[in-house]
Amino acid sequence: GQCVSVCPTAALTVVNDIPNVWEALNAKDKFVIVQTAPAVRVALGEKFGAEPGTVVTGKMVAALRMLGFDKVFDTDFAADLTIMEEATEFIHRLQHGGRLPILTSCCPGWVKFFEHQFNDLLDIPSTCKSPHEMFGVIAKTYYAEKMGIDPKNIFVVSIMPCLAKKYEAARPELKHDDMQDVDAVLTTRELGDMLREANIDLMNLRDEEFDEPLGESTGASVIFGTTGGVIEAALRTAYEWLTNETLEKVEFHELRGFDGIKEAVIKINDQDINIAVAHGLGNARKLLEDIRAGKSHYHAIEIMACPGGCIGGGGQPYHFGNFDVLKKRMEGIYKEDQSKKFRKSHENPAIKKLYEEYLGEPYGEKAHELLHTYYVKRKKM
Ligand code: SF4
């Protein structure tokens, strides 16, 4: 039978996708690909008795392989891709008198909120699809071609900290060639349940590496998992592109931590770029009302529906509002960022290759066709 629970962030009724995923794994004709969101790796261990914030990336990869996935890839790869597109879109708007501030668009809880509550402002969010959706479409086009697999036989599973991603994956806008970009979404908790069903003892596994090429990522993509991380990742790239200089200090500490609204002024060339970050929809509402009233002085704003960002997502192991748990998960995220060889999305070698071999220019024609979306005016709730 199907188990139904209720999403605390987006008031959605959520279906348990575990049976669909087992079915795909058992089907002979399916090539089943899994991808894991940044925030999952710092929380999954909690389901197996580990301290919050324990980074279990390598063990998670090993466990997913044991479950039978044909390829174990990383949403972080696609987070780097999102930065390529979003930073280019930001620079484009900045230099061509486009609408500012630009708002991040990777959180479906927030996207649904503005489609209902601020649908007079549908032209301000970035048109970038969220990372796991970008991943899905790249898996079914570029990767399918490279591997000679019929995309109709590819089944993409996303492991997400989030309940709203289930609704997002079913959006009719998020498909290509009549195929949904993503076929099933499991939460961190559901993955934990599945591993238990299969008697996999996560914490005693040996670390393994993600598969290539869609498993390669930078530190910039890891920080997507916490409030402030998406805009910090975008700045690391936009700064270098706008100045043609190396950004030596990649950490933007003003954008980190748990304040409901964070701000920073970043000097790029001779211009002050005003950045804001909001997490929790109450904080987002304040910034949006200023935009609506024409009083906003920001150039770019990151918004996440969940307090703390995705580390505090509705699909994560329960933290019962305990900020200490969120703090430890956040530390785990920044630790993973520091451990990476590359820390700027545009330095990801697999991403460079993807543009060279397939997409062409960031924000170009092919990128628009595959990686960008649009928003829909929905009734006020
Ligand atoms: Fe999902 Fe919450 Fe992250 Fe938004 S902030 S993507 S609703 S987990």
pLDDT for 240-271, tens place per residue? Answer: 999 999 999 999 999 999 999 999 999 999 99
Catalytic residue among 46, 85, 168, 190: 168
Catalytic residue among 71, 166, 310, 344: 310
Which residue's CA is the closest to the ligand 1 atom numbered 3? 310
The order of strands in the sheet holding 71-74 is: 71-74, 31-36, 154-160, 184-187
Q: Could you identify the atom of ligand 1 that is nearest to the CA of residue 165?
A: 1
Residue 16: pLDDT band (50, 70, 90) is: confident
Report the pLDDT value the prediction gives residue 283, as an integer from 0 to 100: 97
Instruction: State residue 13's pLDDT score.
Output: 59
Where helices occur in the chain by DSSP H, the ranges are 18-26, 57-67, 75-95, 108-117, 131-138, 144-147, 164-169, 188-197, 219-222, 229-243, 281-292, 323-338, 349-354, 365-371
Interval between CA 236 and ligand 1 midpoint (Å): 22
Could you confirm whether 7 is annotated as catalytic? no
In this prediction, what percent of the chain has a pLDDT beyond 90? 94
What is the rounded average pLDDT of the residues 92-105?
Answer: 97
Ligand 1 pocket: which of 110, 167, 186, 311 to mutate (most atoms <8 Å of CB)?
Answer: 110
Within 10 Å of residue 126's Cβ, how many Cβ atoms? 22
Minimal-distance CA residue to ligand 1 atom 4:
107
Pocket test for ligand 1, best of 105, 115, 162, 187 (most atoms within 8 A of CB): 162
pLDDT at position 321, please?
82
In this prediction, residue 14 carries a pLDDT of 64
pLDDT in tens, 29-56: 999 999 999 999 999 999 999 999 999 9
Q: Is 360's pLDDT higher than 80?
A: yes
pLDDT (tens digit per residue) in 188-218: 999 999 999 999 999 999 999 999 999 999 9
Residues with CB under 6 A from ligand 1: 9, 107-110, 161-162, 164-165, 304-306, 309-310, 313
Backbone angles phi, psi at 155, to 5 degrees: -120, 115
Burial 14-47 (b: 16+ CB within 10 A, else e): bbbbbebbeebbeeeebbbbbbbbbbbbbbbbbb
Is-catalytic flag, 306?
no
Out of 86, 232, 240, 336, pick the active-site residue: 86
**Percent of the chain at pLDDT above 70?**
96
pLDDT at 354: 98
Q: Are 291 and 100 in contact (CB under 8 A)?
A: no
What average pLDDT does range 126-142 have in this prediction? 98
pLDDT at 6: 42
Q: Is the pLDDT of residue 3 over 50?
A: no
Q: What distance lies between CA 341 and its chain's CA centroid?
A: 20
Q: Which domains does the chain have, with CATH numbers?
A: 4-371 (3.40.50.1780)
Tell me the best of 6, 187, 310 to mutate to test the pocket of ligand 1, counting ligand atoms within 8 Å of each CB and taking the most: 310
Taking CA atoms only, the protein residue closest to ligand 1 atom 6 is 107
